[in-house]
Chain A
Amino acid sequence: MKRVLPGFGLSLGFTLVYLSLLILLPLSGLVFKASTLSFEQFWSIATGERALAAYRVTFGASLLAALINAFFGLVVAWVLVRYPFPGKRFVDSLVDLPFALPTSVAGITLATLYAGNGWIGRHLEPLGLKVAFTPLGIVVALTFISLPFVVRTLQPVIEDIEPEIEEAAASLGASRFQTFFRVLLPGIFPALLTGFTLAFSRAIGEYGSVIFIAGNMPLISEITPLLIISKLEQYDVVGATALACVMLAISFVLLLAVNALQWWSANRHQSRRTGA
């Protein structure tokens, strides 16, 4: 029963070669460049006051944006797959929009919408909620640019759920909520986590849209990619690669943790399925 299916060597081999050439080689170039710094130099760039503040803003806003997208993305994917409503096809196709719109256009448009006199901002400002040109604006921009991930990873998985499972649960007396949380959610959780992870990692690297809505005040609303640009503006390529390496390392660890968690949860789910 070991490896009945063909193509393991071919597919894995191709994957590894392609990955090495396109991703690992360039990234090692980055690390190599940063390694021309002495450790003290590297450390002082990586842990400067502004850099630390920027990590906090970047990772905090990205996490918030990914959480928002995980919740609403699940609802949207569920609604798009399961419920009929007029104009559904059009709404469905809108979901990819944030990727196609150049990030700068997204940033300019969102800043205009959420500014004090914008369509949305003018209703929020009287409530004391300032969005544009505050860290909250960063969350809005990041939510926008990473919106498609959760919806699009969940959609095919929800479409694939076999109705028999739900019917069986219902006939065994489970309420709809029980069926959802006990039967359906565990099945789609790995995909949800994937969507969350992708949204989170995409948000970490985002620059183009954020700078238009962030306000870019030092220590308050500066994201790390902006600091990298700032280094480049000073023609300090090595300094820029140092910050890029820090981001890369943190992202790598976070992603690895989430993927390990996902692998573990998928395994548990599978063993439960076969064991039950």
Chain B
Amino acid sequence: MSSYVARKANAEPRWVRLSLTGIGLGFLFFFLALPLVAVFAEAFSGGWGAYLEALQHPEALSAIALTVLIAVVVLPFNIAFGVAAAWAIARFDFRGKSLLITLIDLPFAVSPVVVGLVSLLIFGAQGVFGPWLAAHGIKIVFALPGMILVTLFITFPFVARELIPLMQAQGRDEEEAAVSLGASGWQMFFRVTLPNIKWGLLYGVILANARAMGEFGAVSVVSGHIRGETNTLPLYVEIIYNEYNAIGAFGAASVLALLALVTLVAKTLVEWRMRQETEMLEAGLPPEKTS
């Protein structure tokens, strides 16, 4: 990334750089940094001790565990779907492509509450499959499967929508070259496609992860709110806030914010790995032209 800065021809004049940086950071300051500071200020308003105590509450811990569990189950499905959908859409021409993309976008526009409602219409006791499920002793809503289902729905588009514009911008030349040189489909995918899309994939996963962990509306409808069992962290936050425990509520919210900051860790790790790989390559092979 820093290589861009060195290139004179591609650099904006200093005043442009400075004012763009100012505008961008100013926007982030008002819309991101201040709310974040406010959340942490509230979380620590009772001091460090009260903060830690709030987080060690068994209900808080079980909520954290459930939140992580749901995210861990949901992500692989949506990664697989995202890559498959992006491959089909960005690499091939077919009729109805815009329609397909629109259908992928649609879950975003559906209000989370409606997502929950729909699950109840299908799996709830008064729903389409409800009586059958009850007769066979299968629990979907007000249990883990229902919460996973709605989270899958909510985070459905992220990976795909992150990859589609990226892969379209990259074009298919490199992959076609790989195939014409005799690479198998999976070889091409792992050696050419995956290295090319890794940033987009990473962003998609990070966004989906953040959203999966932070989702409230849909999960709230299908969770049943059983304390210590089916409360995720966002539900827990809502409930203890309503019980006039602001420190606990904002403390739990700050945990979610920290979970979102895994971006930092993940990205650093990937960058570090890449640098190592490039160094190894440079030691043995002629340098590959980086894109």
Please list the residues of chain A having a beta carbon within 8 angstroms of any beta carbon in chain B.
3-8, 10-12, 14-15, 18-19, 22-27, 29-30, 33, 72, 75-76, 78-85, 89-106, 108-110, 112-113, 119-120, 143-144, 147-148, 152-153, 155-157, 159-160, 162-163, 166-167, 170-171, 176, 187-188, 190-191, 194, 197-198, 201-202, 204-208, 224-225, 228-229, 232, 237, 240-241, 244, 247-248, 251-252, 255-256, 259-260, 262-263, 266
CB pair A244 B88 closer than 8 Å: no
A249 and B212 alpha carbons, distance in the complex (Å)? 25
Q: How far is the CB of A17 from chain B (nearest CB, A)?
A: 10
Interface string of B248-264 (1 = CB under 8 A from A): 01100100110111011
A248 B106 Cβ-Cβ under 8 A: yes
B257 touches A26 (CB 8 A): no
Interface majority SS (helix, strand, loop, mixed), chain B: helix
Identify the interface centre among B77, B169, B234, B261: most chain A CB within 10 Å of its CB: B169
Query: B113–A27 contact, CB under 8 A?
Result: no
The answer to whether residues A120 and B108 also contact, given A15-B85, A30-B118, A99-B210 and a CB cut-off of 8 A, is no
Given contacts A7-B185, A160-B169, contact A79 B21 (CB under 8 A): yes
Complex interface: chain A residues within 8 A of B149 (CB): 22
A148 cross-chain contacts in B, Cβ below 8 A: 207, 210
Instruction: Contact check, B216 vs A104: say whether CB atoms are below 8 A apart.
Output: yes
Whether B102 pairs with A22 at a CB distance below 8 angstroms is: no
B169 surroundings in chain A (CB, below 8 A): 157, 160, 187-188, 190-191
B65 at the interface (CB under 8 A from A): no
User: With A14-B81, A190-B169 as given contacts, are A248 and B110 in contact (CB-CB < 8 Å)?
Assistant: yes
Q: Most A CB atoms within 10 A — which of B35, B161, B162, B197?
A: B35
17 contacts between A and B (CB under 8 A): A6-B188, A15-B100, A22-B152, A26-B119, A72-B23, A76-B24, A79-B24, A93-B263, A97-B260, A103-B214, A152-B207, A176-B12, A204-B111, A205-B109, A208-B112, A244-B110, A248-B109
Point out the residue from A26, A93, A102, A259 that lies within 8 Å of B118, measured CB to CB: A26
Partner of B10, one of A170, A225, A241: A170
Instruction: Please tell me if the beta carbons of B214 and A101 are within 8 angstroms of each other in the complex.
Output: yes
Within 8 A of A (CB), among B11-52: 12-13, 16-17, 20-21, 23-25, 27-28, 30-36, 38-39, 42
Let me know if B280 is at the binding interface, CB within 8 A: no
> CB-CB < 8 A to B33: which residues of A?
94
Q: Which of B183-202 contact A (CB under 8 A)?
A: 185, 188-189, 197, 199-200
- Are B199 and A104 in contact (CB-based, < 8 A)? no
Are A101 and B162 within 8 A (Cβ)?
Answer: no
Question: Is there an interface contact between A75 and B238, defined as CB atoms closer than 8 Å?
Answer: no
Given A75-B20, A255-B105: A103 and B217 within 8 A (CB)?
Answer: yes
Contact status A191-B165, CB under 8 Å: yes
Distance in Å from the Cβ of B113 to the closest Cβ of chain A? 6
Determine whether the beta carbon of B263 is less than 8 Å from that of A205.
no
Most buried by B among A8, A147, A198: A198
Q: Which secondary structure dominates chain A's binding surface?
A: helix
Q: Are the CB atoms of B267 and A94 closer together than 8 Å?
A: no
B238-A104 in contact (CB<8A): yes
Closest 9 CB pairs of A and B: A100-B260, A102-B234, A251-B109, A99-B210, A201-B109, A191-B165, A6-B185, A93-B264, A100-B210
| CB closest chain-A residue, reference B266 | A93
| CB-based contact B7/A198 at 8 Å | no
Contacts of A97 in B (CB 8 A): 32, 36, 210, 257, 260-261
Give every chain B residue within 8 A of A76 (Cβ-Cβ). 24, 27-28
With an 8 A cutoff between CB atoms, is B175 at the interface? yes
Which chain A positions have C-beta within 8 A of B106? Answer: 23, 27, 201, 248, 251-252, 255
Q: Confirm or deny: B244 has a beta carbon within 8 angstroms of a beta carbon on chain A.
A: no
Complex contact A96–B110 (CB within 8 A): no
A83 to B4, CA, bound (A): 8
B104 at the interface (CB under 8 A from A): yes
CB of B282 closer than 8 Å to a CB of A: no
CB <8 Å contact, A33 and B121:
yes
B165 A205 Cβ-Cβ under 8 A: no
**Further pairs besides A23-B153, A75-B27, A225-B111: 11, Cβ < 8 Å:** A4-B179, A14-B84, A80-B24, A84-B5, A93-B264, A94-B32, A113-B34, A120-B34, A191-B166, A194-B165, A204-B111
Q: Which residue on chain B has the smallest CB distance to residue A273? A: B171
B1 interface residue per 8 A CB criterion:
yes
User: With A76-B27, A102-B233, A156-B203 as given contacts, are A109 and B35 in contact (CB-CB < 8 Å)?
Assistant: yes
Bound-state Cα–Cα, A26 to B124, Å: 13
Given A93-B267, A205-B110, residue A119 in contact with residue B34 (CB < 8 A) = yes
Chain A hits for B25, CB < 8 A: 79, 85, 91
Closest A residue by C-beta to B234: A102
Judge whether B9 and A166 touch: CB under 8 Å: yes
Residue of A nearest to B3 (CB): A163
Does B135 reach chain A (CB closer than 8 Å)?
Answer: no
Binds A, one of B91-99, B136-144, B223-231: B91-99
What residue of chain B has the Cβ atom nearest to residue A99's Cβ? Answer: B210
Contact between chains at B35 and A30 (CB < 8 Å): no
